[in-house]
Structure 1
């Protein structure tokens, strides 16, 4: 996670600047702010400005000599600086040769006027960088929580390290946008949400991967008020987020803070099922067999199991174009209904019956009326997860 030049241009203080180099250098990463405010001496600039700097200058020292400005800008570019902002006090345009050089080097240059102050740009960019640093630390803590089998005491310690005001009971929501969003958009949304009355000091909301992780905690006496079915409704109502633009995974209501790792995983799993099943929201208690499959999705034995069931169908399809695998996945997606499967595949019901009989034959399950569907269902769900990932 990083702040790019493209993200920076979306900040409030940079909304009205004039970009001279088009989208060149938009993907450059910004690590810190710097100001060029002394008379240009090439050797003095060496090491003063480093890779990924965001530099501002009025070029006072070059007001009477455009060649000094050109030399300084080229030195900045060659130093790996991310971008350059020029206050248009002395220069309201730059030579075309310099702009072309900047574009060739994937460098961004913009002009800004009297109504924009150095301090405003520096403050906003620096605050954003600090927020990103803080969020990176939070992401690392969450990765540590869910990526390792930690003791209860350590989970609790890490949880309180995330927010020392956490209460014991909690629900975790993972909210992932369906639209492509840059870092700046994520952080602007987070800034708005953090200021809502909906979130109390005992709650946390922060960016995690491609979404937002929300941890809502509450006192023991509030437990009776928690209705998981209404959690998503209240979340959308209170945050004013548009449900069609997001996927929402909601954990169970867990009883102790030492279970925070499990709560986070539950919300992530529920959100993953939203993606697989093309649903906008899921609670962990709604995802059925995925409760078992998702925690072990990288297991050799799960992969071995689903391939032992579905590989014969794939091989038969390749040889005869029989569409058995698609029939099997549709059959499972339609809860074993031949009628719904036929409608979904635009086939006659007898065609579906014939294909299912062929699947039974290939799997040597002709007389097995009890375990055929459960085995096929588990194999298909693992397959859908694997092909989705």
Structure 2
């Protein structure tokens, strides 16, 4: 299955003209249906859920009233989408458009110089690629969740370690605003570029959970980073992704850890507003993540943040923002004052209030800073919803 939004994101479909905007673009296509001569009575028997229907409305031939009846019949069959070739019609009655929006079924036109056969071939290819991609994604998910057997993991490593090198690195490019069509297009661009690079068999790509996972087997860390840079240069706009990466020895067969560390590093990029980070450089987040192993820490952080925000609400203060900037600036009062456009004495006063709320003497620094640092880092994870689900 493929998403309609994924299909429309491909270059081959850029001339398709939607009448229904974004309504229903997340519907899935399971098959292609061709409507030529079917009568109104036959439509419900011939087409159904999951079908992407291509038609010229030949059976209606310039009869807009009849076209309205046929389009409405297709909509009542709950197909996934309808694409009309601009041969006999270039517009449809407004009733069709409104009904399509109501049922969240995309309705579109495409130019008459595009052959139906070409569309069929492309969508069939997409459906086949999608099945392979889904199977590959499921394999990676099983490994990351610890559900794969040692043999399954070993077979997967063998598949990606075609050059039989000593180490495997994983990079996870998490798209900031998920567009599956764009992700798959970027994967194809990367494949095209690396295929022209000597030794490209050491690079293996997969679409994974709203992003791209890159497996690289390599001899040394310099080679790994160079290959990763080659892959990144093939992506049109790298700022569309958070990039987390990790390296590991293939001999240890710890691909689960390597995959999850790359995913974690990509998550931290989002929290810290950075484009690229290695797991080695994420610092205290190694202690905080994964959240389900640190529920006590998260609950405590939530209690502290609640105290701070309650104080802000009661006294119309700005302690939370001060705490956030104070930690971002590594405890530098002057820089915090500059960022918040406040006098440094105001920041010192607020830090003193934070110490009081956390139960510290105003002169105490070391333990207070560590506690506030951990609290604010956990707060950045936005874990309130997680806590509610877990208690």
TM-score of the pair, normalised by structure 1: 0.82
- Do 1:252 and 1:266's aligned partners in 2 also have CA atoms closer than 8 Å? no
Residue 386 of structure 1 aligns to a residue whose secondary structure is coil
Query: In structure 2, what is the equivalent of residue 206 of structure 1?
Result: 206
Aligned equivalents of 2:90, 2:345: Cα separation in 1? 76
Over 3 Å counting, the alpha-carbon distance change for 1:231 and 1:16 in structure 2 is closer
Pick the aligned partner of 2:289 from 287, 294, 301: 294
Give structure 1 stretches of 5+ with no counterpart.
none
Pick the aligned partner of 1:280 from 271, 275, 284: 275
The correspondence of residues 263-278 of structure 1 with structure 2, limited to 5 A, is 263-278=258-273
Pick the aligned partner of 1:337 from 328, 332, 356: 332
- Do 1:153 and 1:258's aligned partners in 2 also have CA atoms closer than 8 Å? no
Over 3 Å counting, the alpha-carbon distance change for 1:121 and 1:376 in structure 2 is same
Aligned equivalents of 1:232, 1:297: Cα separation in 2? 31
Aligned equivalents of 2:108, 2:26: Cα separation in 1? 15
Aligned equivalents of 1:25, 1:150: Cα separation in 2? 35
Over 3 Å counting, the alpha-carbon distance change for 1:65 and 1:258 in structure 2 is same
Residue 185 of structure 2 aligns to a residue whose secondary structure is helix
- Aligned residue pair count: 380
Aligned equivalents of 1:311, 1:101: Cα separation in 2? 47
Query: In structure 2, what is the equivalent of residue 386 of structure 1?
Result: 382
Over 3 Å counting, the alpha-carbon distance change for 1:191 and 1:236 in structure 2 is closer
- Do 2:75 and 2:103's aligned partners in 1 also have CA atoms closer than 8 Å? yes
Aligned equivalents of 1:99, 1:357: Cα separation in 2? 62
Query: In structure 1, what is the equivalent of residue 217 of structure 2?
Result: 217
Query: In structure 2, what is the equivalent of residue 175 of structure 1?
Result: 173
Over 3 Å counting, the alpha-carbon distance change for 1:88 and 1:340 in structure 2 is closer
Residues 345-379 of structure 1 show CA distances to partners (whole Å, capped at 9, x for unaligned) of 22222332233233323333326544222222112
CA RMSD of superposed structures (Å):
3.4
- Do 1:159 and 1:257's aligned partners in 2 also have CA atoms closer than 8 Å? no
Residues 285-321 of structure 1 show CA distances to partners (whole Å, capped at 9, x for unaligned) of 1111111212235632121232354443333333333
Residues 103-161 of structure 1 show CA distances to partners (whole Å, capped at 9, x for unaligned) of 55444444555532222000111211222222222222222222237665553345446
Deviation of 1:32 (Å):
0.9
Aligned equivalents of 1:99, 1:314: Cα separation in 2? 48
More divergent stretch after superposition (331-340 vs 87-96): 87-96
Residues 76-117 of structure 1 show CA distances to partners (whole Å, capped at 9, x for unaligned) of 221111233344555566566656655554444445555322
Over 3 Å counting, the alpha-carbon distance change for 1:54 and 1:330 in structure 2 is same
The correspondence of residues 360-371 of structure 1 with structure 2, limited to 5 A, is 360-366=355-361, 368-371=364-367
Query: In structure 2, what is the equivalent of residue 351 of structure 1?
Result: 346
Deviation of 1:381 (Å):
0.8
Aligned equivalents of 2:96, 2:156: Cα separation in 1? 51
Aligned equivalents of 1:82, 1:242: Cα separation in 2? 31
Residue 133 of structure 1 aligns to a residue whose secondary structure is helix
Query: In structure 1, what is the equivalent of residue 370 of structure 2?
Result: 374
Aligned equivalents of 2:52, 2:80: Cα separation in 1? 6
Q: Does 1:303 align with 2:298?
A: yes
Over 3 Å counting, the alpha-carbon distance change for 1:306 and 1:166 in structure 2 is farther
Query: In structure 1, what is the equivalent of residue 239 of structure 2?
Result: 244
Over 3 Å counting, the alpha-carbon distance change for 1:240 and 1:57 in structure 2 is closer
The correspondence of residues 101-180 of structure 1 with structure 2, limited to 5 A, is 102=100, 105-112=103-110, 115-148=113-146, 152-160=150-158, 163=160, 165=162, 167=164, 168-178=166-176, 180=177
Residue 172 of structure 2 aligns to a residue whose secondary structure is strand
Over 3 Å counting, the alpha-carbon distance change for 1:64 and 1:164 in structure 2 is same
Query: In structure 1, what is the equivalent of residue 55 of structure 2?
Result: 57
Query: In structure 1, what is the equivalent of residue 181 of structure 2?
Result: 184
Residue 249 of structure 1 aligns to a residue whose secondary structure is strand
Residue 206 of structure 2 aligns to a residue whose secondary structure is strand
TM-score of the pair, normalised by structure 2: 0.82
